[in-house]
Amino acid sequence: MKNVKLAVIFYSMGGTNFQMAKWTKEAAELAGAEVKLLKVEELAPQAVVDANEGWKATEDATKDVPTATSADIEWADAIIFNVPTRFGNMPSQMKQFIDKQGGIWAQGKTVNKVVSATSSAQNMHGGQEATILSLYTSMMHWGAIIVPPGYSDAVLFGAGGNPYGTSVTVGQDGKMIEDVEDSVKYQATRTVNIAKQLINGQQ
């Protein structure tokens, strides 16, 4: 049986989505996947990053994480995106990364990738669902196979019950309000297991 190759791709300004990405990686590896933890390129001017203590701390914490490339998308059987919300949409850093994949998209190299996503925002109704759905719209154009958590396990209700992907509210102190670790890990395991069924069914 072939092991699933999973790319965990995140953008994080305050550290929340980096933490969710690390939980994702941990659970996926326990499920037997070969995992690459990857960040997308920062677009903000360095002076802006340096002026924000939390942002700078996250930059420092993620300095050794490789930056995602098209080759990583080609390599992966499955992809889990961890993205914050920006006005009900994905941040420009993640959008640019997706937009840059036109070359491999045109060659059909994004087709049948198994995809899932998580998100965060500073308000309970701050656009987490819309952000995940906007990312999934791009994945439909890729020809990807979207694997949302739905309501497939009770653990999801403890995290707020978002059927599109685990999402969390971040307080003004930068800390997560809901306890979403188990939900993130469940979603990662589910995604790997679905990918495992698909890639081994093709052999």
Name every residue whose Cβ is closer than 8 Å to that of residue 164 and which is 6 or more positions away in sequence.
117, 129, 132, 133, 136, 148, 149
Q: How confident is the model at residue 158 (pLDDT cuts 50, 70, 90)?
A: confident
What confidence score (pLDDT) does residue 180 get?
Answer: 93
- What are the structural domains of the chain? 5-201 (3.40.50.360)
pTM score, whole prediction: 0.95
Specify which of 77-81, 83-87, 128-132, 175-179 reaches the highest per-range mean pLDDT: 77-81
**pLDDT of residue 1 exceeding 80:** no
What confidence score (pLDDT) does residue 202 get?
Answer: 56
- Percent of the chain predicted with pLDDT > 90: 81
